[in-house]
Amino acid sequence: MSDKKEMRVKPFFKITFKERHRHILALIKKNVGRLVLAGCCSLMISGTTTAMGYLIKPVIDDIFINKDTTRLLLLPLLVVAVYLMKGLGSYGQEYFMNYVGQDIIRRLRNQLYDRIQDLPLSFFQKERTGTLMSRITNDVNILKAMVSTAVTSSMRDASTIIGLTAVIFYQNWRLAILAFTVLPAAFWPVYILGKKVRNVSTGCQQAMADLNSFLHETFAGNKIVKAFGMEQHEKQRFFGRTQDLFQLEIKGVIVRSLSSPLMEFFGGLGIAFVIWYGGWEVIEGKTTPGTFMSFLACVLLLYDPARKLINLNNAIQQGLAATDRVFDIIETESEIQDPATPCPIEPGPHEVRFEKVHFSYGDRPVLNGIDLRVPHGQVLALVGMSGGGKTTLVNLIPRFFDVIAGRIYLDGKDIREYRVADLRKEIAIVTQEPILFNETVRDNIAYGNPQATVTAIEEAAKAAFAQDFIQRFPNGYDTMIGELGSRLSGGEKQRLCIARALLKNAPILILDEATSSLDTEAEALVQKALENLMKGRTTFVIAHRLSTIAKADHIVVIVGGHIVEQGTHETLLAAKGEYAKLYEMQFAPNGAGAAGPV
Ligand code: ADP
Ligand code: MG
C-alpha cells in the first residue's frame, strides 16, 4: 500500500508549490473553521467504520459461539449507537464540506467576473463568449470538486484506512502481513485507469466549452442562420458536436465502469487467498471464527476508502487542469493600466491632440501616423470608406486600446497620465453597435448615471426623440428591454443610446455613426439634438451621410489608416479630392438639391 501512497502524494506536493495554487490555499484558509469541523466529522465516520469492523469479533465469538445473553442485548445497542454516530458524522461532513465548496465556487466566480470585467476590450475580442461563460459556470465546479474531495476524502479515507489497518493487525498480524502483500495488486487497475479517466474528462470539458460557444453564436445570430437558410447546416454541425461529446462520455463510462469490476476481481483473488489461509488457521484453532470474520470485514471495508484515495489523484489532476484555466484568466494582467501617480483632469471642455499615432490589431497596421488637433469645444468629423480606421481612431481616446506608437494628448498631457476611470468619465460615446442591457428603459438611459432625476432622464429621451416610442411601450419608462425582445428597431435602439450619451453630459462626445440606423426624417430631428449637444463640447463625429457632418469645424478624410485630406466642407469640396468624390457619390443623382442644407 505504501508505494501506492507515494505515487498519489508526489504530484500533489510538486504542484502545491506552484504560485497559483497559493490562491486556492487562500480560498481554503477563509474556511478553516468549517474544514476543521468537517475533519472532526470525517474522524467520526472513520471511527465508527473501524468500530463496526471491530464489533464483528464479539458478535460472532460472544453471541453466536459462546451464547452470552447479556452481550446479546448490549451489542445491538452498541451497533445502534455506532450507526447514529456515523449518521451524524456523515451529515456534518457533507454539510460543512459542501458549504465550503459552494463558498469557494462563489468566491471564484466573483473573482473571475471581477477580473474579466476589468480586462481591456481586446481580451473580449480574442476570447469567445461561450468559452468565457464555461469558465465561470463549469470550471469552477471542477475546482470545487477537487477541493472537497481532496480535503474530505483524504481526511476521512486516510483515517478510515489507518483505523481499519490497526484493527486488522490487532486481530491477526500474520494474516495481516499476508493480506497486505497480496491485496494492493487489486488497486493497480484503478490507478492505471484513473489516468485515462482524467484525459477523457479534460476532453469532455473542452468539448462542453466548445458546445457553449457554438450555442451562443447560433442562438444570438439566429436571424442570419434563418436568412441564409443554414438551419440544416447548423443542426448537422451541432449533431456532430454532440456525437463527439457522446463518444467521449461513453469512453469515460467504459473506463470508469471497468475499474470497479477489475478491482473487485483482483480483490476477490486476494480475499480467496485470505479465506484459504485464515480458514486453515481457524480449523487449526490458532484463531477464533470472530477474529477471522472481523479481519475479513475490515479488509472488505478497506476497499472503498482505498479506492477513493487512489481516485483522489485523478480528482486533483482534473481539478488542477481546471484551476489552470480559471487562474489563467484571474492572473491576466490588463495591458491598459493606470499610471502610478495619476494627474487630475481639469473640468472640460478639453483639447484633444493626436501626435504620430500608430495602431495595429496584432501585426496588422490600421492607423499609420495620425496627427490631429481638436481645440476646446470644436467638432471634428471623420470621413472615409468603411474599414479605413475611423472607429479604431476614436476607440483610442477612451483607451479601449492603447496606441502602439505616438501619443494622444488631452489638455496637453498624455492620456496615459490620467486614471482610466477619470478619463472615461469625460467621454460620452454612442457606438456604432447600439448596445442595451436587460434593465428598464429608464435604467438604460441612466446607465452609469444612477443619481439622474426622472426629469433629467425624460429630458434626455425627449432630446433624442425617443419620448414618443417609449411612451407607447407597455410600461413606458419602466418597461424591461428584454420584454421588448427584438421588437425595438435599430433606429429606436440608437435613439436610446443617444439619450444615454446625452444624459452623461460629458465634455468630450464621440458619435460613431450614431444615426446610421435612422431614416432621413428621424435623422434630421436627432441631428438637431446632437447639434445642440455638441455646443461647447469637443466632439468626434463619424457619419456615413456627409450632409450630417458638413457643419463640422474640421473634416478629416481617412483612407487606409492615413489622413489623406483635411479642411472644411467648402475647402475640401473646392480641392476636388477624396472628399469631393465621396460627396459626389452620395449626392450626384440628386444634383444640387441634396446640397441645399449644407
Ligand atoms: P471604420 O470604422 O473606418 O469602418 P474600423 O476602425 O472599424 O474602420 O476598422 C479598421 C480596420 O481594422 C478594418 O480593416 C477592420 O477589419 C480592422 N479591425 C477592426 N477591429 C478589429 C479587431 N478587433 N481586430 C482586428 N482587426 C480589426
Ligand atoms: Mg466604424
The pLDDT tens digits of the residues spanning 500-521 come to 998 998 999 999 988 777 777 7
| Position 529 pLDDT exceeds 80 | no
User: Which pLDDT score is estimated for 598?
Assistant: 32
Kindly give the distance from the C-alpha atom of residue 512 to the centroid of ligand 1, in angstroms, as a whole number. Answer: 13
Own/partner pairs for 265-272, CB < 8 Å, 24+ apart? 266/185, 266/186, 266/188, 266/189, 267/183, 267/186, 267/303, 269/182, 269/186, 270/179, 270/182, 270/183, 270/185, 270/186, 271/296, 271/299, 271/300
Average pLDDT on 248-253 reads 91
User: Which pLDDT score is estimated for 398?
Assistant: 95
- At 419, the pLDDT band (50, 70, 90 cuts) reads very high
- At 7, the pLDDT band (50, 70, 90 cuts) reads very low
Is the pLDDT higher at 313 or at 104?
104
**361 CA closest ligand 1 atom index:** 25
Contact between 223 and 229 (Cβ < 8 Å): no
| Position 428 pLDDT exceeds 90 | yes
Ligand nearest to the CA of 396: 1
Count Cβ atoms within 10 A of the Cβ of residue 181 and give its class: 0-12 exposed, 13-18 middle, 19 or more buried: exposed
pLDDT cut 90: percent of the chain above it: 42
- At 19, the pLDDT band (50, 70, 90 cuts) reads low
Distance between CA atoms of 318 and 542, rounded to whole angstroms?
50
Q: Is 395 in the pocket of ligand 1 (CB under 6 A)?
A: no
| Position 390 pLDDT exceeds 90 | yes
Q: Is 401 in the pocket of ligand 1 (CB under 6 A)?
A: no
Q: Is 341 in the pocket of ligand 1 (CB under 6 A)?
A: no
Amino acid found at 113 = Y
CA-proximal residue: ligand 1, atom 26 (nearest): 361
- At 596, the pLDDT band (50, 70, 90 cuts) reads very low
Q: Is 386 in the pocket of ligand 1 (CB under 6 A)?
A: yes
Kindly give the distance from the C-alpha atom of residue 392 to the centroid of ligand 1, in angstroms, as a whole number. Answer: 6
Kindly give the distance from the C-alpha atom of residue 544 to the centroid of ligand 2, in angstroms, as a whole number. Answer: 9
Contact between 495 and 463 (Cβ < 8 Å): no
Q: Is 149 in the pocket of ligand 1 (CB under 6 A)?
A: no
Peptide bond preceding 349: is omega within 30 degrees of 0, i.e. cis?
yes
Q: What is the mean pLDDT of the chain?
A: 86
Q: Is 305 in the pocket of ligand 1 (CB under 6 A)?
A: no
Kindly give the distance from the C-alpha atom of residue 433 to the centroid of ligand 2, in angstroms, as a whole number. Answer: 9
| Position 330 pLDDT exceeds 90 | no
Average pLDDT on 35-50 reads 91
C-alpha cell at 305: 476508502
Kindly give the distance from the C-alpha atom of residue 538 to the centroid of ligand 2, in angstroms, as a whole number. Answer: 19
Q: Is the dihedral of CA 192, 194, 199, 203 positive or negative?
A: positive
Amino acid found at 211 = L
CA-proximal residue: ligand 1, atom 14 (nearest): 387
Distance between CA atoms of 354 and 155, rounded to whole angstroms?
63
Q: Is 388 in the pocket of ligand 1 (CB under 6 A)?
A: yes
* Predicted model pTM: 0.76
| Position 10 pLDDT exceeds 50 | no
CA-proximal residue: ligand 1, atom 22 (nearest): 361
Q: Is 124 in the pocket of ligand 1 (CB under 6 A)?
A: no
CA-proximal residue: ligand 1, atom 25 (nearest): 361
**362 CA closest ligand 1 atom index:** 25
Kindly give the distance from the C-alpha atom of residue 220 to the centroid of ligand 2, in angstroms, as a whole number. Answer: 22
- At 48, the pLDDT band (50, 70, 90 cuts) reads very high
